[in-house]
A and B are shown apart, each in its own frame.
Chain A
Amino acid sequence: MRPVDAKSIHILTGILGANDRQAEHNREHLGRHGILAINLMSSPGSGKTSLLEQTIDAVGGRFRIAVIEGDLETENDAERIRAKGVPAVQITTGQTCHLDAVMVHDALHTLNLDAIDVLLIENVGNLVCPASFDLGQHANVALLSVTEGDDKPAKYPTMFRAADLVVFSKIDLLDVLDDFSPAKAEGHVRALANPAEILRTSARRPETLAPWIAWLERRLVDRRAARR
């Protein structure tokens, strides 16, 4: 019998190492082009695509937007964005419940990065899986519509802890819904030790988008300053 040598090797490496390395590469790639990349996450139906449509209208060319859309199936969301005259890449993930850094990298290669200031990545509608996968974004934005429970942050802590900005969407419906308390929802976000700014928007009331657009502009200015 040949002698065998058993070894125990201590390592300390991220389990998602391959994704993290690709995400870092994406971030550098975006950084070289001065692009601010935002990872937009929420449940299905919270109004991510509507927010993007209204954002494009509200920005009105003050900065140049491109969109990456993640869905299990269909090209529908990308078509809605393209109808606004903005470049959009649809990633259909099949049965995969989240975007990952490789998918985003492939999508980046189909965009003209010299013609983009802000890249908005709409992740697959899902409050669980997308939170674990770095895409190379500079900030995470989590949407919570007021038609959902105000305890969603307590139910999905990993997602809402990862958010750099939380947006309460469909805020116009607060007039007819009395079971969503923005104060309680904010309390649940704070209980995740997350100091993120919280904004309230309604795609039906374009004036509510001003703080969100201002947030994007501030982040874009910060990105450009960091690049110098």
Chain B
Amino acid sequence: MHELAVCQSLLREVARAAAANGAGEVTRVVVAIGSLSGVEGPLLARAFEVARCGTIASGAALEIEAVPVRVRCKICAAETETPVNALLCGRCGAWQVDVLSGEELLLTRVELVVDPT
């Protein structure tokens, strides 16, 4: 259960983005979480409820985009979606694949309220 540590780190990155844009408030935080990232979306969402308190994102909603695992086969070149523990080509079954997505742990968007004064 390291989602709280991940969340605190997320909120530091959110605070950096808010400061860079002169925002007084963050209303929405959007993240992309790959299913191979080691972070569980529902746990992250629950940790966010606690971790956001007292930060610039205390009223922010968290939107989690779950990113499935996709691989490209080095043998037959097919691109297929796979389960997290069987990264095998969906066409020919080879394990010699490149992972195209599924390892993301990214902050992709923030919605801010900027005080014009």
A103 to chain B, nearest CB (A): 12
Q: How many residues of B contact A (CB 8 A)?
A: 42
B86 to chain A, nearest CB (A): 5
Are A11 and B107 also in contact (CB < 8 A) when A154-B85, A157-B85, A191-B86 are?
yes
Q: A104 interface residue, CB < 8 Å from B?
A: no
Segment at the B interface, from A46-54, A84-92, A127-135:
A127-135
Segment at the B interface, from A15-23, A55-63, A214-222:
A15-23
A195 to chain B, nearest CB (A): 8
Are A14 and B105 also in contact (CB < 8 A) when A4-B116, A9-B21, A132-B6 are?
yes
Do A13 and B106 touch (CB < 8 A)?
yes
Segment at the B interface, from A28-36, A93-101, A111-119, A165-173:
A93-101
Give the dominant DSSP class at A's interface. mixed
Do A15 and B6 touch (CB < 8 A)?
yes
Q: List residues of chain A with CB within 8 A of the CB of B55.
A: none
Most chain B CB atoms below 10 A, which of A10, A11, A18, A153: A11
B68 to chain A, nearest CB (A): 13
Do B114 and A5 touch (CB < 8 A)?
yes
* Residue of B71, B99, B107 touching A15 (CB-CB under 8 A): B107
Q: Mark B95-117, 1 if CB is under 8 A from A, else 0.
A: 11111000001111111111111
Q: How many residues of A contact B (CB 8 A)?
A: 40
Q: Mark B1-23, 1 if CB is under 8 A from A, else 0.
A: 11001100110110001000101
**How far, in angstroms, from A5 to B25 measured CA to CA in the complex?**
11
**How far, in angstroms, from A98 to B10 measured CA to CA in the complex?**
17
Q: Which residues of A contact B (CB under 8 A)?
A: 2-19, 96-98, 100, 128-129, 131-133, 153-155, 157-159, 161, 188, 190-193, 195
In the assembled complex, 28 residue pairs joining A and B whose CB atoms fall closer than 8 Å, in A order, are A4-B113, A5-B114, A8-B111, A9-B21, A9-B109, A9-B111, A10-B108, A11-B110, A12-B108, A13-B17, A13-B106, A14-B106, A15-B9, A15-B13, A15-B106, A15-B107, A16-B9, A17-B13, A18-B13, A132-B37, A132-B39, A133-B2, A157-B85, A158-B37, A161-B87, A193-B87, A193-B95, A193-B99
